[in-house]
Amino acid sequence: MNGLVTGETSIRDAAEVEDFARRCFGGGPGDRLGIELEFLVFDLGSPARQVPLDRVAAALPPLPGGSRVTFEPGGQLELSGPAGPLPEAVARVAADVDAARGALREAGLALAGAGLDPVRPARRQLRLPRYDAMAAFFGSPYGPLMMCSTASVQVNVDLGERPEARWERAHLLGPVLTAAFANSPLLEGGPCGWMSGRQVVWERLDPTRTAPVPLRGDPVAAWRDYLLDARVMLVREEDGDGERCRPVGDGSSLRDWLAASRAAPARPASVVPPRPAPGSPGPSYGSPPRPTASAASPASSPAPSYAGRGLPARPPTLADLAYHATTVFPPVRPRGWLEIRYLDAQHPAWWPVCAAVTHALVTDDQAADAALAAAEPYAGSWARAARHGLADPGLRAAADACFRAALAALPRLGAPPALVRRTEAFADRYVTPGRSPAEDLLDLFGVTAPAGRAAEPERSLAAWLAGEEGWTYAA
């Protein structure tokens, strides 16, 4: 899946933003799957302690499936697999997860799948210009939590011959799939009040950049307006020491920047040339998870002295626009393919199910028709899904219909019998009884009521890690 390439030409009006938005939907036909997995990493001997990123990197072996290895600001490990047909994409990432998990275990470390760190407070390890600016822009408490304590399964799909259909499906299915794979109920050893606390953290960051893109007739126009109305997070500048990312602290949107550039003559400014994109495929949520001060304060550096400055006195460039698009995080984002971003990280046994079901329901027309008939009544019910998961009877019934449709489609998409059986096992364990994966964590940590807390969170965490052995693809 190819990234969008832009230059430093100034843009003057919304028509040029629309041209960029149109290219985001221009990836061409195809049915490939791309999988990006984020994992929390724990020390098996001291699971409540942070694991230095360098220790994780040193323990990782060469990965046989070709996944790209990166780290999130808090040290979360991310594996981004090559895009390909469903069976190949899952097999290659599964081989890499197995290799990484085995090597890390020999080093006394464990990969764990949960959407929100259940015990440790947020602490940032990566000190890069982008992350410094992001931390200053978002502030506490949700900036540190998002950057340092969340993990996800991201499913990337080709846009196909009818991009608008896949765009609509990915959105309409969102609340049901969020509920089915909700797996982030804990924060600092106790319940956060949501089955998907991660989803709430993301939404609470900045609704101009994390709310869903409105569904209306023309997805290009909707994406154009979303980009225009999102606040500008940062501008990249060059100084004597190289690249600097300066946060924009006055609330200005890209639309404001365009209007200001038309109203005043531009002054020259140094900008950083664009980087190629990687080659892989607000509703109100009510009361969000409430971290204690220890979860919020250690993760971000004090805001730089320039944190309150506004937009530069020059027109935005195509490079600025392309970078701006990487700083907005709606649940579904077009980039020449669709990034489906609303899924919590999963136990190593279950992430293939998450990827396969999502891919099947978005790309297979027959499965999509059956799934949407059940899911469409819950379109926009993101808060309901994040709060209750599959304990909500309506969402459970919709998820049951979606899984039935996906199971019928998987053989048509070339899924091997092992993956079909694994999907059936997930449905039997969670969907049929109306139980999201989050409830496993609540049970393991001894949480029996919303106000409950694990009596011994470190022992509970050790027991959880002992059960985090994953699934071998050939099983």
DSSP character string of 383-397: HHHHHHGGGSHHHHH
User: What is the DSSP annotation of 58-101?
Assistant: HHPPPPTT-PEEEE-TTS-EEEEPPPB-HHHHHHHHHHHHHHHH
Predicted pLDDT of residue 223: 98
Sign, CA torsion 420/421/422/424: positive
- Which are the contacts of 239, defined by CB distance < 8 A and separation ≥ 6? none
The CA distances from residue 79 to 39, 99, 103, 317, 466, in Å, are 9, 12, 15, 32, 22
Predicted pLDDT of residue 270: 36
Amino acid at 428: D
Block mean pLDDT (10 aa), the chain, length 475? 61 95 90 97 93 97 98 98 98 97 96 95 94 94 96 97 97 98 94 97 95 94 98 86 85 95 56 35 38 36 45 92 97 98 96 98 98 97 98 98 98 97 98 97 71 57 68 52
E strands in 291-443 = 332-334, 338-344
Predicted pLDDT of residue 332: 98
- Which are the contacts of 184, defined by CB distance < 8 A and separation ≥ 6? 114, 115, 116, 150, 192, 194, 195, 196, 197, 198, 199, 344, 345, 438
Separation of alpha carbons 353 and 340, rounded Å: 15
Give the CA dihedral 131, 133, 138, 144, nearest 10 degrees.
30
Q: Give the side-chain half-sphere CA count within 13 A for 199.
A: 38
Predicted pLDDT of residue 383: 97
147-161 pLDDT, tens digit per residue, is 999 999 999 999 999
Predicted pLDDT of residue 265: 53
- Which are the contacts of 354, defined by CB distance < 8 A and separation ≥ 6? 153, 155, 181, 343, 346
- Which are the contacts of 66, defined by CB distance < 8 A and separation ≥ 6? 81, 82, 92, 96
Predicted pLDDT of residue 285: 31
Predicted pLDDT of residue 264: 60
Separation of alpha carbons 200 and 149, rounded Å: 13
Predicted pLDDT of residue 470: 53
Predicted pLDDT of residue 1: 55
The CA distances from residue 348 to 103, 114, 162, 357, 373, in Å, are 15, 10, 33, 16, 30
How much is the pTM? Answer: 0.88
Selection from 196, 207, 273 nearest residue 439 by Cα: 196
Amino acid at 294: S
Predicted pLDDT of residue 159: 96
Selection from 23, 305, 316, 304 nearest residue 163 by Cα: 23
Separation of alpha carbons 146 and 202, rounded Å: 6
Predicted pLDDT of residue 189: 86
Contact 201, 288 (CB under 8 A): yes
Selection from 129, 126, 128 nearest residue 245 by Cα: 129
